């Protein structure tokens, strides 16, 4: 991120940068220090996922970070913000983070209803542009939410499965959509983790502690153009190599 992100944002004329930082803390969860580092590199908003509080001390820190949005459909007991508003060039972008309900722990509430409520709240806050990070296990649920929000969200970006999908497109009503934006991590890895460790666990059925892989890395993501009415007019995926 340090090697690539600042120059990438500048050369592509990016107005607002949203980063999913789940598992940035040595492969599991997130923490306050990493959030501050990502913000210094250019992040305007940070989203999370099912491992939001795997670094437990983050539980007591997230309320102080007004640019970090939590998955909002898990529990009212979770600290953190349900919506982050990014203001740039006189425009407001609302950032929402939602968990999928299939094969996900902790078990979330209905993501479709949660999005309906949060998008209305974002619009009431003056944000016509809305980005939804849908942290979901299954491609079917991600696709379904994309169509459910078509014309109401500016962008629906799937995360969690680490592998960038090739279905980036603009849905009817002006909603940019991709099933998974991909990951930031080592190119030669298994979802960012050491290859040999994954082989021991998956091939040999031997317990082994996961460690992040080390080596030349890549950043995966998407770039969206959003007009003043909150409609996505251009949407493309990218991969930048270290």
How does pLDDT run across 102-140, given as a tens digit for each residue? 999 999 999 999 999 999 999 999 999 999 999 999 999
Tokens 């980036």 found at:
168
Q: What is the mean pLDDT of residues 94-100?
A: 98
User: Is the backbone of residue 152 left (phi > 0), alpha (psi -120 to 50) or beta?
Assistant: alpha
Residue 220 has pLDDT above 90, yes or no: yes
Residue 146 has pLDDT above 90, yes or no: yes
Handedness of CA 122, 67, 219, 242 (dihedral sign): positive
Q: Supply the pLDDT for residue 89.
A: 87
Task: Report the SS3 class of residue 112.
Answer: helix
Cα distance between residue 71 and residue 234, in whole Å: 26
Of residues 220 and 89, more confidently modeled: 220
Q: Which domain holds residue 27?
A: 5-241
Consecutive H or E run containing 95:
strand 91-99
What is the count of structural domains for the chain? 1
* Reported pTM: 0.95
The residues annotated as belonging to the active site are 51
Q: What is the mean pLDDT of residues 53-77?
A: 95
Per the prediction, the chain carries an average pLDDT of 96
Q: Supply the pLDDT for residue 64.
A: 96
Q: What percent of the chain has pLDDT over 70?
A: 100
Cα distance between residue 127 and residue 27, in whole Å: 33
Q: What is the mean pLDDT of residues 146-163?
A: 98
Q: What is the mean pLDDT of residues 45-71?
A: 95
How does pLDDT run across 1-24, given as a tens digit for each residue? 999 999 999 999 999 999 999 999
CATH of the domain at 70: 3.60.21.10
């Amino acid at each position: 991120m340090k090697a690539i992100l600042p120059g990438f944002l500048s050369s592509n004329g990016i107005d607002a940068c949203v980063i999913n930082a789940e598992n940035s803390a040595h492969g599991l969860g997130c923490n306050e220090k990493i959030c501050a580092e990502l913000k210094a590199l250019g992040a305007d908003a940070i989203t999370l996922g099912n491992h939001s509080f795997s670094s437990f001390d983050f539980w007591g820190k997230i309320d102080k970070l007004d640019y970090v949005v939590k998955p909002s459909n898990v529990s009212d007991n979770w600290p953190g913000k349900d919506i982050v508003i990014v203001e740039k060039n006189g425009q407001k972008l609302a950032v929402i983070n939602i968990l999928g309900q299939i094969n996900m722990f902790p078990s979330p509430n209905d993501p479709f209803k949660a999005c309906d409520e949060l998008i209305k709240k974002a619009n009431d806050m003056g944000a016509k542009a809305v980005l939804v990070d849908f942290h979901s296990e299954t491609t079917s649920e991600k696709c379904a939410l994309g169509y459910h929000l078509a014309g109401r969200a500016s962008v629906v970006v799937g995360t969690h499965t680490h592998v960038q999908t090739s279905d980036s497109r603009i849905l009817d009503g002006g909603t940019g959509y991709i099933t998974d934006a991909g990951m930031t991590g080592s190119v030669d890895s298994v979802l960012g983790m050491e290859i040999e460790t994954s082989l021991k666990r998956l091939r040999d059925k031997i317990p082994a502690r996961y460690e992040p892989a080390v080596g030349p890395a890549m950043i995966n993501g998407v770039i969206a153009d959003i007009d003043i009415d909150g409609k996505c007019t251009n949407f493309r995926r990218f991969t930048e190599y270290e």
